[in-house]
Structure 1
Amino acid sequence: MDCQVRLATGEDAEAISHVVMSALRESNARDYPADVIVQVEQGFSPQAIHRLMTQRRVYVASVDQRVVATASLEGETVRSVFVEPQHQGNGIGRQLMAVIHATALNLGLEVLHVPSSITAEGFYATLGFRKVRDEFHGAERTIIMQKVLRSRGS
C-alpha cells in the first residue's frame, strides 16, 4: 500500500474530521461508552481541526491521494493519532509515528508523551512508549505514556 505522509493544510480539515469520527465510532467505541465518544467528537469538527492546526504540527497520511490517517505533535506531546478503521493494521499509524519521531529528534526533544486511549495503548507500547499513569476525565480513561528519545544532555 503506497502511503504518503505530509504536513496537513487547511484544506485537509474536513477529511481529518472524517477520519477521526470514523475511528472514534468504530474502533474507540469498543472501549468507551457512547457518551464519552460524543464528548470527544465535539473537539474534532472541521472548525476545531482548523484551530488545532494553529497550535500543533498536524500530519496526514494519504492513500491514492485520499486522507486516511492523522497525527499531530504539540511540544513534546503526540496528539490525535487516528487511522480510518478499514486502514488500521496496515502500517499507516507506524509511518505517521515515524514522522513524528523524526520531527521530535530534529527539534532536539528528549522525550515524547502521548495521552493514549485504551484502544491504542498496545499500539504505542509496540513503538517503545511506556505507561506513566492513568488520567480520568469523567468516564474517559486516558493512559499517559512516554518514550525517551535521548538521555538528557546527549
Structure 2
Amino acid sequence: MSQQIRLASHFDAQAISQVIVAALRESNAQHYSPEIIDQVEKSFSPAAILQLLNQRRMFVATIDQHVVATASLDRDVVRSVFVAPCHQGAGIGKKLMETLESIAIKEGVQRLRVPSSITAEAFYASLGFEKIRDEFHGVERTIIMEKRLGHS
C-alpha cells in the first residue's frame, strides 16, 4: 500500500466530498442530529469543495492513489479534517495534522486553532490541542481548540 499526503486539486473534489459525507454519516451522526448532518453535508458537495479549493489550501491523504482523508489549512486555522470511516484509527488523520503543523511552523504560525466537532474533540486533544471555548451555530456545537507550535 502506497500512502501519500499532497495538495488537493480540482480533480479530487468528488472524492473529497465522498470521504466527508461518509465520515459525517457514520462517525459524526452519533453526536449530531440528522438535520445538522444534512445541513453540513450540503457545505461539502463537490461544487462546494471546488469553491473551497480556491479559498484555502486543501490536502488529501491517499492510499494507492485513492483519496481516504482530507484536511485544510487556512492561515492559522485547521479546517475540515475528515478520514473515511474504514480508515479511521490507522494514523492517517494524525499524519495529515503533522503535515499541516509542519507547514504552519515553517510559515511562522505560533498557535494553530481548530473548530472541532464533538466527534473529533478527543482526537485533537491527543495531538496536544486544548479546548478554548464552545461556539454554537443554532443547535450545532463546535469546540474551538488551540495548540502552541514549537519552532525549530
Query: C-alpha displacement at 1:3, in angstroms?
Result: 1.9
Instruction: Provide the C-alpha distance between the structure 1 equivalents of 2:32 and 2:43, rounded to a whole number of angstroms.
Output: 16
RMSD: 1.2
Residue equivalent to 1:76: 76
Amino acid at match of 1:65: Q
What fraction of aligned residue pairs are identical, expressed as a percent?
A: 60
DSSP-derived class of the 2:22 partner? helix
Deviations 1:47-106 (A, max 9, x none): 110111111110000011100000000011000000000000000000100100001011
Query: C-alpha displacement at 1:150, in angstroms?
Result: 3.9
Query: C-alpha displacement at 1:2, in angstroms?
Result: 3.9
Amino acid at match of 1:117: S
Residue equivalent to 1:39: 39
TM-score for both structures, normalised by structure 2: 0.97
Residue equivalent to 1:108: 108
DSSP-derived class of the 2:89 partner? coil
Instruction: Provide the C-alpha distance between the structure 1 equivalents of 2:150 and 2:16, rounded to a whole number of angstroms.
Output: 31
Instruction: Provide the C-alpha distance between the structure 1 equivalents of 2:3 and 2:30, rounded to a whole number of angstroms.
Output: 27
Number of residue-to-residue matches in the alignment: 152
For structure 2, the residue ranges without an aligned partner over 5 or more in a row are: none
Instruction: Provide the C-alpha distance between the structure 2 equivalents of 1:53 and 1:65, rounded to a whole number of angstroms.
Output: 19
Instruction: Provide the C-alpha distance between the structure 1 equivalents of 2:143 and 2:111, rounded to a whole number of angstroms.
Output: 16
Instruction: Provide the C-alpha distance between the structure 2 equivalents of 1:36 and 1:2, rounded to a whole number of angstroms.
Output: 35
Amino acid at match of 1:41: E
TM-score for both structures, normalised by structure 1: 0.96
Instruction: Provide the C-alpha distance between the structure 1 equivalents of 2:3 and 2:128, rounded to a whole number of angstroms.
Output: 23
Instruction: Provide the C-alpha distance between the structure 2 equivalents of 1:150 and 1:7, rounded to a whole number of angstroms.
Output: 23
Alignment map for 1:131-146 (pairs within 5 Å): 131-146=131-146
Moved over 6 A (4+): none
For structure 1, the residue ranges without an aligned partner over 5 or more in a row are: none
